Amino acid sequence: MMIKHILIVNNEPSLLVSVSMSLLQAGHVVTVATTGDEAFRKIKQRRIANSRFDLLILDTQIMDLSGIGWLEIIREYNGKMPVLFISGNTDHHLGSLIAQKNQTAFLNKPFGSRQLVQSVEAMMGP
């Protein structure tokens, strides 16, 4: 497995810790952000350094804009970065909206470490 650099955007500290730990234990590099603005700054900083995140894990309801809204902004700036959406919202309309976007997947909360790592690896390949 190749090491991937993953940006996690979520405003729940306990979820950030558990997701980060799961991905670190799986051998990935992790950067976290608690708002869309902070995530966008980190994406811009990596682009200035001629580097990119390999995957974005994005809560569908971060505080300052819906996750779908941030997907559009980030994709405009950073191309087709794969995005794994996470949410406790079981709205089927939201899941179908996400399914219509390229290189996206959806993971319902609560989820376990194994399910998270499998979803990440399925999106990025070995």
Nearest CA among 27, 76, 83 for reference residue 60: 83
Which CATH number do you get for residue 72?
A: 3.40.50.2300
Q: Assess contact for 71 and 104: CB atoms under 8 A.
A: yes
Per-residue model confidence (pLDDT) at position 118: 94
Band of pLDDT at residue 8, cut at 50, 70 and 90: very high
Domain boundaries, position 79: 5-124
Number of domains in the chain: 1
Tell me: the pLDDT tens digits for 46-78? 888 888 899 999 887 764 555 566 667 776 766
Instruction: Specify the pTM.
Output: 0.84
- Pick 39 or 24 by higher pLDDT: 24
Inter-CA distances, 71 with 27, 35, 67, 99, Å: 25, 13, 6, 13
Report which of residues 110 and 126 the model is more confident about.
110
